[in-house]
């Protein structure tokens, strides 16, 4: 129960940071939806694979999804419900999630700083990478 709450909070923070970063880059709601369309499948993949994840808890795909930060919260909760997650995977998973949240916060701060004054203008991918390097 406690680990489920921890994974829910960390997953919520992770996706909130990703969506806030997208919101800082795009000038309109419609363009934001187009970019978020590429982020959302990563969060939905574990839900589509619930039967596979529950039956094949030691499969390499299951372990990769457990350690990949975007799919980790949902995959970990599925594996915890089944009861087949080792303690080293649990610690490594939580550590990777915390590190990715901290890294994404720093990256989102750079994105906000770089694109705060670019209201109404759609930046290109080249401008985004250049602004992230300079910030």
| Interval 116-127: pLDDT, tens | 666 666 667 787
Work out the pLDDT band at 112, boundaries 50, 70, 90: confident
- Closest-CA residue to 14 (of 76, 78, 59): 76
C-alpha 116/C-alpha 25 separation (Å) is 8
pLDDT for 12? 94
In 10 A of CB 62, how many CB atoms? 22
Given a cut of 70, is residue 93 above it in pLDDT?
A: yes
Average pLDDT across the chain, whole number: 85
| Token code pair at residue 14 | 């992770």
- Give tens-digit pLDDT for 22-69: 888 887 778 888 888 888 888 889 989 999 988 888 889 988 999 999
pLDDT for 120? 61
Query: Is 9:77 a contact under the CB 8 Å cutoff?
Result: no
The predicted model gives 101-110 an average pLDDT of 91
């Amino acid at each position: 129960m406690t680990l489920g709450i921890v994974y829910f909070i960390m997953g919520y923070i992770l996706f909130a940071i990703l969506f806030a970063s997208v919101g800082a880059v795009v000038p309109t709601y419609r363009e934001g939806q187009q970019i978020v369309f590429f982020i959302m499948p990563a969060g939905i993949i574990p839900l589509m694979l619930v039967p596979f994840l529950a039956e094949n808890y030691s499969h390499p795909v299951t372990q990769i999804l457990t350690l990949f930060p975007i799919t980790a919260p949902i995959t970990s909760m599925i594996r915890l419900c089944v009861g087949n997650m080792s303690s080293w995977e649990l610690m490594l998973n939580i550590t990777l999630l915390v590190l990715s949240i901290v890294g994404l916060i720093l990256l989102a701060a750079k994105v906000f700083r770089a694109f705060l004054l670019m209201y109404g203008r759609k930046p290109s991918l080249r401008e985004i990478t250049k602004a992230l390097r300079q910030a």
